[in-house]
Amino acid sequence: MQVEISRDFLDQLKENIEREDKDAVYQLISEMHSADIAEIYQMLEADEGRFLFTVLDNETAADVLIELDIDERKRVLKNLPSEMIARQLIDYMDTDDAADVLGELSADRKDEVLSRMEDVEHAGDIVDLLSYDEDTAGGLMAKELIKVNENWNVVTSIREMRKQAEEVDEVYFVYVVDDANLLKGLLSMKKLLLSSRNSFIRDLLNTDFISVRTDTPSEEVSNIMHKYDLVALPVVDHIGRLAGRITIDDVVDVIREEAEKDYQLIAGITEDIEPTDKVWILTRARLPWLLIGLTGGILVSQVIGVFEADLGVYPEMAFFMPLIAASAGNVGVQSSSIVVQGLANQTIKISDTFKRLLKEFSVALLNGLTLALIMLTYNILVKSSLALTMTVSAALLSVILFASLFGTVVPLVLDKFKIDPALATGPFITTSNDLMGLMIYFSIGRILYGIF
Amino acid sequence: MQVEISRDFLDQLKENIEREDKDAVYQLISEMHSADIAEIYQMLEADEGRFLFTVLDNETAADVLIELDIDERKRVLKNLPSEMIARQLIDYMDTDDAADVLGELSADRKDEVLSRMEDVEHAGDIVDLLSYDEDTAGGLMAKELIKVNENWNVVTSIREMRKQAEEVDEVYFVYVVDDANLLKGLLSMKKLLLSSRNSFIRDLLNTDFISVRTDTPSEEVSNIMHKYDLVALPVVDHIGRLAGRITIDDVVDVIREEAEKDYQLIAGITEDIEPTDKVWILTRARLPWLLIGLTGGILVSQVIGVFEADLGVYPEMAFFMPLIAASAGNVGVQSSSIVVQGLANQTIKISDTFKRLLKEFSVALLNGLTLALIMLTYNILVKSSLALTMTVSAALLSVILFASLFGTVVPLVLDKFKIDPALATGPFITTSNDLMGLMIYFSIGRILYGIF
């Protein structure tokens, strides 16, 4: 059952751990879900956590380990002998989780753990999975699945499925293969329930299924599962042999991670951080973008320096510098974020760049004219000089047009060069637009103050 | 099978539609998944799309309708008579989809459609679902599920399940209830496969299951399914009777929508937009935050006006105005985004606000000192005046401390008052920090220029 972890409960647990009372600790946590135990583990001191692990049975310990943050997991494994990791933890994990955990170890340690595993077939499956790139269907999939041969009948199939089912946690689909292990179709549990026991599988299977290849990128996997509302997805190799299956919970992790990564980039944060992380980790994650912003600020100060003479003659131009810079920044972030989201959910295709730019230009023109008109009215009302009035509105319109095109083009270009387009959001776009915005502002000012 | 929709294909389809050749159109799309047909529909002109719908059988038409964007769906339904919507579309939908679609109609239209439905039991289920708040488990769940009585044996259960299975697309879990429909546990298909046909369900069921109540908020539902890696989740009423079930694909939609909403708010966009939306919708979504930024910019210009005398005496202070404003903005967005993400994935609890602020203060102090030191070195190197050097560094540190606390507090306060904390990200935080940042800068300048 799901639980709220109360302060009382935690105090009681810590007390029992301090008294090294294994039975009492076991009593407290034995009924809990591994995800809850992992949450508790993260609230304990390092030595308390170590004691907690000694109380767990192997199956639960393996489950808890998978639920931990990557850093915590590394800390737990660092202190354990390879044989223990192999026989008391990895042997109890599903192949996909085992491959993820082993992938986090050093190459030497990984080989050592693999060589100590008792279940050689299981070890072989894990080695297979480790050969795939993490960000592909091969890196997401698990080897555990239930498959039947198209030439079997229902009775034989159920008998074989019983054997296979012991290895698999949950059965969502049964995969149908031919003698060469080529994936022929899916068999739903529903169909199996509804059919007579002598029917042949080849007459029951659904051949209208969706599969991905081991090298399909994980973002595409997540888009496919989302688009077609799939709970599980078979993975085949280059010639169509069944290699594994991906379940939706793995893809939910991909979706969450992608969304968090994009969010952190637009917010100007460089690492995947949690509010519970240590102060220096939080500082380290935030400093890079602040430094970029600072560098931008220094460059801006030099741009202003270049126009110092103008500022001396028309000091009121300084009043609207922040307004111009902020508008450029805001428009730039809006434009780049729309492209980043569009690329992520595939509503933008790189082929229609020109159409995209034309549309962005129209939007920017509408917004720019509105804002320029408002500033025109404002400056007339507060009786600013004609030159300042014209400069602010003309610069605002130009800056908005420039910032929105720049904000659109940069992520598209990054994407073309296979760089994460989300890098072009947040402080990068605001800083560059600040710089360009003020240059435009002063240049227009120089011209218009000459005229009016 | 999944497909890439090519230009050739689309041209061919449009040609056949123009010739009103139903057979040819049917040939082209009959093998396609409803999600693909929906994608094609969105590439067609309004009257072409209408023709496409006339070719589809009821089942497929219902599926395609669900896959459409809400605006497109409304447009399709507006032109159809209520009886047609009831008997050719709604009758073919799962209860949760039907309730979603009906929920988008006006109250009168909804009642009219419901009254025309042929399957009265189905209509009753939909009416039940319509009574729940959209953002709760009740609003997410479907009524279609497979349930068995704990007092049945395996043979009876399989017979009953066969009857029920005709209504349900996929069977992931079998729910076990008692005579009063109270949820007693789950029965996995695997267990059913492995058991002898005379066993009683009460001896096979898994009582260690997780359920939610109809009024559990959907964000909590998504967190629970994510935390415990669940594919389906039973929903019970206030006394524990089985009311429905939620599948992970519905929750994936919730996760995506939440993430997109937060992303758009930090990017300064007010509506859920796609790059494919019309120009005026894109403009409308972007204008509000630009106007807020503009208002901020006008206020900033007035703050500068207040300090005009100082700027006249120390014009070099203008050089670093954008640097101060940008740093304040960047720090503020970082801080507020960390809080927003922490609240969303529940790593921040409102109860530890004080600890949160203390940590944020430490991070800000470290970052602020680093940046202030860099600017100190820079200003010494470029031989700025002592007063300017001290002012910039002192102001930078103060502004970073202020902006990070402000960025942390505002989303926490919004959350306390049940307002979406993500409103405190993006242009709001940058604009307020611009304003406060420059006030701090000039105030410190006034003091320090007096001293040095």
Joined tokens for residue A253:
């992790």
Q: Establish if A252 belongs to a structural domain.
A: no
Closest CA to A173 of A160, A191, A155, A198: A191
Residue with tokens 């610069």: A395
Task: Give residue-wise pLDDT tens across range A258-298.
Answer: 888 888 888 888 877 877 778 888 888 899 888 998 999 99
CA distance between the termini of chain A: 76
Residue B3 pLDDT level (bands cut at 50, 70, 90): low
Q: Is A264 a member of any domain?
A: no
Contact A248, B248 (CB under 8 A): yes
Pairing state of beta strands B242-247 and A147-149?
unpaired
Rounded CA-CA distance A338/A323 in Å is 23
Query: Residue B177's closest CA among B214, B199, B129, B209?
Result: B209
**Residue that finishes a domain, picked among B132, B158, B187:** B132
Average per-residue pLDDT for chain B: 88
C-alpha pair distances (Å), A200 with each of A179, B155, B159: 15, 22, 20
Bridge partner residues of B136 (DSSP)? B217
Same domain, B228 and B359: no
Q: Decide: A244 and A211 in contact? Cβ < 8 Å.
A: no
CA distance A32 to A247: 24
Amino acid residing at B306: V
Q: With 0-12 CB in 10 A as exposed, 13-18 as middle and 19+ as buried, what is A210? A: middle
> Three-class SS of residue A117?
coil
A329: which chain B residues are within 8 Å (Cβ-Cβ)? 326, 329, 430
Average pLDDT value for residue range A427-450: 88
Indicate the residue of A31, A263, A321 with minimum beta-carbon distance to B337.
A263
Q: How far apart are CA B305 and CA B27, in angstroms?
A: 71
Residue B290 lies in a domain: yes
Rounded to whole angstroms, how far apart are CA atoms A2 and B210? 6
Chain B residue at shortest CA distance from A408:
B275
Q: How confident is the model at residue B184 (pLDDT cuts 50, 70, 90)?
A: very high
DSSP state of A230: -
Residues in chain B closer than 8 A to A166 (CB atoms): 194
Contact A322 B321 (CB under 8 A): yes
**Tens of pLDDT, residues B82-125:** 998 999 899 999 999 999 999 999 999 999 999 999 889 899 99
DSSP code string of B169-212: S--SEEEEE-TT-BEEEEEEHHHHHHS-TT-BGGGT-B-----E
Indicate the residue type of B372: A
Residue A79 within any structural domain of the chain: yes
Q: Would you state the structure tokens that stand for residue B252, as one six-digit string?
A: 């994936």
For chain B, helix, strand, coil in percent to 5 are 70, 10, 25
Is A91 inside any structural domain?
yes
- Residue-wise pLDDT for B24-69, tens only, equals 999 889 888 898 999 889 888 888 988 998 899 999 999 999 998 8
Asked if A214 and A239 sit in the same domain, the reply is yes
- CB atoms B321 and A319 under 8 Å: no
A320/B301 touch (CB, cutoff 8 Å), yes or no: yes
pLDDT bracket for residue A252 (50, 70, 90): confident
Q: Are residues B77 and B20 in the same domain?
A: yes
Taking each helix axis as running N to C, give the angle between helix B120-130 and helix B107-116, from 0 to 180 degrees, rounded to the nearest 10: 150
- Residue A195 counted as domain residue: yes
Which CATH number does the domain housing residue A210 bear?
3.10.580.10
Q: Which of A124-128, A212-216, A254-258, B377-381 has the lowest mean pLDDT?
A: A254-258
**Percentage of residues in chain B with pLDDT exceeding 90?**
42
Substitution target in A282, A362, A396 with the highest count of B β-carbons within 10 Å is A282
Amino acid at A317: M
Sheet holding A232-236, edge to edge: A212-213, A232-236, A242-247
Q: How far apart are CA B59 and CA B337, in angstroms?
A: 44
Confidence of residue A167 (pLDDT cuts 50, 70, 90): low
Q: B395 with B329, same domain?
A: yes
What is residue A57's three-state secondary structure?
coil
pLDDT band with cut points at 50, 70 and 90 for residue B309: confident
Highest mean pLDDT among A194-198, A266-270, A422-426, B161-165: A266-270
Q: Do A338 and B275 touch (CB under 8 A)?
A: yes
Statement to judge: residues A21 and A42 lie in one domain: yes
pLDDT for B259-268, tens place per residue? 888 888 888 8
Higher per-residue confidence, A312 vs B376: B376
Vertex B27 angle, CA B24 and B31, to 5°:
160
Mean pLDDT calculated for residue range B314-330: 89
pLDDT surpassing 50 at residue A121:
yes
Domain boundary (A135, A166, A187) is at: A135
The span from the CA of B171 to the CA of B211, in Å, is 18
Instruction: Residue B344: give its domain's CATH number.
Output: 1.10.357.20
What would the mean pLDDT of A337-360 be, rounded to a whole number? 81
Distance from C-alpha of A205 to C-alpha of A184, rounded to nearest angstrom: 8
Return the pLDDT at B1: 46
Residues paired with B235 in a beta bridge: B212, B244
B354 shares a domain with B428: yes
Could you tell me what percent of chain B has a pLDDT over 70?
97
Task: Tell me, yes or no, whether A42 and A104 share the same domain.
Answer: yes
The answer to whether residue A96 sits within a structural domain is: yes
Task: Find chain A residues with C-beta within 8 A of B356's C-beta.
Answer: 275
**What's the Rg (C-alpha) of chain A?**
30
Here the ipTM equals 0.79
Quick one: A303 and A344 in the same domain? yes
pLDDT of residue B136: 93
Helix spans in B201-246 (H): 218-227
Domain range spanning residue B326? 279-451
Nearest of B234, B245, B353, B254 to residue A275 by alpha carbon? B353
**DSSP strands (E only) in A214-332:** 232-236, 242-247
> Does residue B324 belong to any structural domain of this protein?
yes
Pick from A306, A426, A298: nearest CA to B323:
A298
B150 residue type, one letter: E
3-class DSSP state of B244: strand
**How buried is A416 (Cβ within 10 angstroms: 0-12 exposed, 13-18 middle, 19+ buried)?**
exposed
The CATH number of the domain holding residue A48 is 1.25.60.10
Mention every residue, 6+ apart, whose C-beta is less than 8 A from residue A272: A257, A260, A261, A264
Regarding whether A130 and A152 lie in a shared domain, the answer is: no
Q: Are residues B322 and B413 in the same domain?
A: yes
Closest CA to B146 of B127, B126, B128, B166: B166
Q: If DSSP codes are grouped into helix, strand and coil, which group holds residue B125?
A: helix
CB spacing of B2 vs A333 below 8 angstroms = no
Last residue of a domain, one of A247, A269, A294: A247
Greater confidence, A110 or A273? A110
Report the chain B residue with the minimal C-alpha distance to residue A288. B367
Predicted confidence (pLDDT) at residue B385 exceeds the cutoff of 50: yes
Q: How far apart are the first and last CA of chain B?
A: 76
- pLDDT at residue number B2: 52
Q: Report d(CA B44, CA B354) in Å as an integer.
A: 56
Same domain, A432 and A307: yes
Identify residue B59 by its one-letter amino acid code: E
Contact across the interface for A325 and B322, Cβ inside 8 Å: yes
| Averaged pLDDT, B232-239 | 94
Contact A197, A217 (CB under 8 A): no
Sheet of strand A173-177: strand arrangement: A147-149, A173-177, A183-188
Amino acid (one-letter) located at B433: N
Chain A residues whose beta carbon lies within 8 Å of the beta carbon of residue B324: 297
Dist CA A429 CA A335 (whole Å): 10
Q: Are B271 and B281 in contact (CB under 8 A)?
A: yes
The per-residue pLDDT for B311 is 80
B443 & B316 share domain: yes
The answer to whether the Cα torsion of B398, B401, B402, B404 is positive or negative is: positive
Q: How confident is the model at residue A1 (pLDDT cuts 50, 70, 90)?
A: very low
Cβ neighbours around A242 below 10 Å, total:
20
Number of folded domains in chain B? 3
Residue in B2, B189, B431 closest to A171 by CB: B189
- φ/ψ region of A181 (left if φ > 0, alpha if ψ in -120 to 50, else beta) reads left
Which residue, A183, A182, A186, A201, is CA-closest to A232? A186
Model confidence pLDDT, tens digit, residues B186-208: 987 777 777 788 899 999 898 88
Question: What's residue B102's pLDDT?
Answer: 93
